[in-house]
Amino acid sequence: MTARTVTQKRTVSPVPGMLNPVVFRITLRATLGRKRAFVFILIPVLLLAITVLLRLVAKSPSWPAEFLGVFGLSVVLPLTALIIGTSALGAEIDDGTVIHLLATPVSRLSVVTSKFAAAVVLTLAFGALPEFLAGAIAKGFADRLTIGLLVGAVLASVAYNAVFVMLSVLTTRAIAVGLLYLLVWEGLLGNFVGGVRVLSVGQYSVSVANAIARNSALNAHLTTGTATVMAVLVTVAALAVAGRRLSSFALKGDAV
C-alpha cells in the first residue's frame, strides 16, 4: 500500500465530448451481454429465413415491397430499435450500473449521446443490415427497392433510437411506453389521422425509402423533404430532452 499521494493530471479531450469512447464501448458490451440480446439476434435471422422462403414460393411480384417494406421497415426494425434503445440506457438505470458512469465529471448529455451512438450501431448491425440483405435476396443488391430499404432502415435506426433512449430516461417503463407508441400512435392512429404521420418515425423511414424505391406498396405518406427534416428534428429534440433529464437524474434514499 502506498501512502504517497499522486496528483492526477487531466488531459483535455480534442473533441469536447459528444461521443465518449468509454461509455460507447461499455454500452456495446453491456447491451450485447444481456439476455434480451437473443431477441434482437433472433429477429433478423427470422426475417432472412422468411425472405428466403418467400423468394422460393411467393407468386405475386410485389411481395418484396409488401413484406420488407411493411413487415421489415414497420415491424421488425422498430422492435429491434426498441429492444436495443431501451437496453442501452434504461436497463442500466434499472440495475443501477449507470451510477458508475454518472459519478464522473462526464457531461450527462455526452452519456446520452454515446449510449445513443452505441444503440444506433447495434440497430444498424441487427436491423438495417439484415433488412438490406433481405432486400438483396429478394431483388438483388443494386435494385432500387434494396437501396431504398437500406436508406429507410438507416434513418429509422437513428430516429427510433433517439426516441427510445429518451423514453428510457423519462420513464422506468420505457419498453411498454415504446410499444404503445409503435402500436397505437404509429400503427393505429397513423392510419386514420394525417397529422399523426408527421410525428411518426415509421413514416419518415418509409417515405425516404419510397423516395428511392418509388413503390406504392411501401405505404408512404410524407414528402422526402418533410420526412428528412422531421427525422433530424425529432432526433435532436429527443436527445436534448434526454440529456436535460439525465442532468437531473435523482437517486432516492432508503427512507421511502
Partner 1 sequence: MNGTGLIELRNVSRWYGNVVAVNDISMSLGAGITGLLGPNGAGKTTLLNMMAGFLPPSRGELTVDGRPSWRNPEVFSTLGLVPERDSVYGFLSGFDFVRSTARLHRLADPDAAAHRAIAIVDMADAQDRRIATYSKGMKQRIKVAAALVHDPAILLLDEPFNGMDPRQRLHMMDLLEQMAAQGRTILFSSHILEEVERISGTIQVIVGGRLAASGDFRAIRRLMTSRPHVFLVRSSADRELGAALLGRPAVTGVEITPRGLQVRAADFGTFTRELAGLCREGDISLREVLPSDESLESVFAYLVAS
- Stretch of residues binding partner 1 (CB under 8 A), selected from 92-100, 167-175, 217-225, 226-234: 92-100
| Euclidean distance between CA atoms 121 and 77, whole angstroms | 13
| Euclidean distance between CA atoms 132 and 147, whole angstroms | 7
Closest approach of partner 1 to the CB of residue 19, in Å: 13
Give the per-residue SS3 of 77-115. Answer: HHHHHHHHHHHHCHHHHHHCCCHHHHCCCCCHHHHHHHH
Chosen residue from 19, 24, 29, 113 binding partner 1 by CB under 8 A:
29
DSSP assignment letter at 9: P
> Cell numbers 435532436 label which residue?
236
Say whether residue 18 binds partner 1 (CB under 8 A).
no
| DSSP assignments along 41-52, one per residue | HHHHHHHHHHHH
Question: CB of 124 within 8 A of CB of 154?
Answer: yes
- Amino acid 171 reads T
Chosen residue from 9, 14, 60, 195 binding partner 1 by CB under 8 A:
9
Say whether residue 58 binds partner 1 (CB under 8 A).
no
Residue with Cβ nearer partner 1 (28 or 70): 28
Residue with Cβ nearer partner 1 (61 or 96): 96
Number of residues that bind partner 1 (CB under 8 A): 43
Say whether residue 107 binds partner 1 (CB under 8 A).
yes
Say whether residue 14 binds partner 1 (CB under 8 A).
no
CB atoms within 10 A of CB 251: 7
Say whether residue 103 binds partner 1 (CB under 8 A).
yes
Chosen residue from 74, 108, 134, 160 binding partner 1 by CB under 8 A:
108
Closest approach of partner 1 to the CB of residue 44, in Å: 23
